[in-house]
């Protein structure tokens, strides 16, 4: 028997239960991974509440982990027992051990420890595709990042700075503004109390920014649109404040013939070639020191309820891991 954090119905954090599960032996094409660390992500909250449908319940939550392959099933190529591996976007990570196919697994390079790997795969690969594919940031760009002190936000800010951008980061408190500055933000805006678009136009001499990386959704859509320069990119990649439900494409016209993308990491890592490229670029950024993974919270896996409550109440900063 192993233990896992599962839900039997969608709802609040207390719906998650620490339960015995029978993992069993790997089937055809599968491996059994013993987790050493698990990443906490905001998508876990969307899946727990039912904003994102995860199919049949009960289900083990969690989309990111690191660990060691304990056992390999038939017809598995490229992975053997003893490999140190990590993954993102595969439901079932909140567990001491799990079965999974190898499609989303990558080997962890020697220069990266398991805790860092578990903290960085989902948030770091997201930052990678946002900065290199969704809107390819150019040196000299001044860009806007929402929730700049959060998990994705701190990685985005550091990496954008490394690429030569000037970074404006929106945050929820003065304390988070300091963290965002440490992560490379040149300017910070307290979006709960300040006029974001006004500040952005002041900072950019009236030009606006070519891109807003917006993970907040409902609460910030207008601020993002109003902050963009003509033909700028509104990259709406999350819904921390709730989903955008009433979007009229005419708003893109009115704010200067803007582009909008609603991306997901799954698209940008949809096959082995893309996954290796995105993960490889992230590993290089971390091993070289261009990006640091700031693990600011660590909880026992059994205390995932508290971890969710803290993330939901905006008390976490940087990355968070759960230890089985």
Q: Which residues of this chain interact with ligand NDP, rule CB under 6 A?
A: 41-43, 122-123, 126, 147, 149-153, 171-172, 176, 215-216, 219, 237-241, 263-265, 311-312, 314, 316
Q: What is the DSSP letter of 8?
A: S
Output 222 or 257, the one with its CB closest to ligand NDP: 222
For the bound state, the minimum distance from the C-beta of residue 77 to ligand NDP, rounded and expressed in Å, comes to: 28
Instruction: Give the other-Cβ count within 10 Å of 76's Cβ.
Output: 18
Angle between the N-to-C axes of helices 304-312 and 42-49, in degrees from 0 to 180, rounded to the nearest 10: 100
For the bound state, the minimum distance from the C-beta of residue 192 to ligand NDP, rounded and expressed in Å, comes to: 7
Output 154 or 204, the one with its CB closest to ligand NDP: 154
Distances (CA, A) of 235 to 11, 46, 183, 261, 270: 28, 19, 21, 5, 19
For the bound state, the minimum distance from the C-beta of residue 120 to ligand NDP, rounded and expressed in Å, comes to: 11
Q: 316: closest CA among 27, 9, 6, 42?
A: 42
Give the strand pairing for 30-40 and 295-300: unpaired
Point out which residues pair with 6 in neighbouring strands: 17, 60
Output 26 or 169, the one with its CB closest to ligand NDP: 169
Output 126 or 255, the one with its CB closest to ligand NDP: 126
Output 130 or 163, the one with its CB closest to ligand NDP: 130
Output 39 or 210, the one with its CB closest to ligand NDP: 39
Which element (helix H / strand E) includes 39? Answer: strand 30-40
For the bound state, the minimum distance from the C-beta of residue 123 to ligand NDP, rounded and expressed in Å, comes to: 5
For the bound state, the minimum distance from the C-beta of residue 294 to ligand NDP, rounded and expressed in Å, comes to: 11
For the bound state, the minimum distance from the C-beta of residue 176 to ligand NDP, rounded and expressed in Å, comes to: 5
The CA distance from 168 to 185, in Å, is 6
């Amino acid at each position: 028997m192993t233990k896992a954090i599962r839900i039997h119905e969608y709802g609040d954090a207390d719906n998650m239960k620490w339960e015995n599960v029978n993992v069993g032996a790997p089937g055809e094409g599968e491996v059994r991974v013993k987790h050493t660390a698990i990443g906490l992500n905001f998508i876990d909250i969307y899946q727990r509440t039912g904003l994102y449908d995860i199919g049949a319940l009960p289900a083990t939550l969690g989309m990111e982990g690191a660990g060691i392959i304990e056992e390999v099933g038939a017809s598995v190529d490229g992975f053997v027992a003893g490999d140190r591996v990590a993954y993102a976007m595969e439901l079932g990570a909140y567990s001491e051990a799990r079965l999974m196919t190898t499609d989303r697994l990558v080997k962890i390079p020697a220069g990266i420890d398991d805790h860092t790997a578990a903290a960085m795969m989902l948030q770091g690969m997201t930052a990678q595709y946002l900065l290199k594919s969704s809107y390819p940031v150019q040196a000299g760009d001044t860009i806007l990042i929402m929730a700049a002190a959060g998990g994705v936000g701190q990685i985005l800010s550091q990496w954008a700075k490394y690429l030569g951008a000037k970074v404006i980061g929106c945050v929820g408190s003065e304390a988070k503004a300091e963290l965002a500055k440490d992560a490379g933000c040149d300017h910070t805006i307290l979006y709960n109390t300040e006029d974001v678009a006004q500040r952005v136009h002041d900072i950019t001499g009236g030009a606006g920014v070519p891109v807003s990386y917006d993970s907040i959704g409902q609460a910030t859509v207008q601020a993002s649109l109003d902050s963009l320069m003509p033909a700028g990119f509104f990259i709406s990649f999350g819904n921390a404040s709730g989903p955008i439900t009433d979007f009229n494409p005419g708003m893109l016209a009115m704010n200067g013939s803007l582009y909008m993308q609603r991306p997901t990491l799954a698209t940008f890592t949809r096959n082995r070639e893309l996954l290796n490229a995105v993960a490889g670029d992230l590993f290089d950024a971390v091993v070289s020191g261009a990006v640091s993974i700031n693990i600011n919270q660590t909880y026992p896996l059994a205390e995932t309820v508290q971890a969710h409550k803290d993330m939901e109440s905006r008390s976490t900063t940087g990355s968070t891991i759960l230890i089985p």
